[in-house]
Amino acid sequence: MQIIHRLTVVSNPTRVFEVGTEIYGREVIEIKQMGCEYSDHVHSEFYVLDENGQLITSVENAPVIVDWKTIAEDGPVPENEK
């Protein structure tokens, strides 16, 4: 399974959100991709969530660099990953 590990917002100044770091005194636990693709446009949105699942910040329609990380899941290893 792959999760978003780091989200870099390419802006001035550049902002980086990374799982395991602290923002405003709250620990980043998850970064979720929430955008939608429509027939005529794409709405890009990412949620940065804390340990309670509460929204720390949202990044909408901004140029970003997404770093993914592969994590282990419980259960048997799929045949194509052995």
Query: For 24-67, how does the pLDDT look when each residue is reduced to its tens digit (9 = 90+)?
Result: 899 999 999 999 999 999 999 999 999 999 999 999 999 999 99
Q: Does residue 80 lie within any of the structural domains?
A: no
Specify the pLDDT at position 70.
87
Look up the pTM and report it: 0.81
Side-chain-side CA neighbours of 74 within 13 Å: the count stands at 0
Q: Does residue 78 lie within any of the structural domains?
A: no
DSSP reduced 3-state for 34: coil
Residues in the chain: 82
* The total number of structural domains that make up the chain: 1
Q: Does residue 26 lie within any of the structural domains?
A: yes
Q: Is 51 left (phi over 0), alpha (psi -120 to 50) or beta?
A: alpha
- Predicted confidence (pLDDT) at residue 75 exceeds the cutoff of 70: no
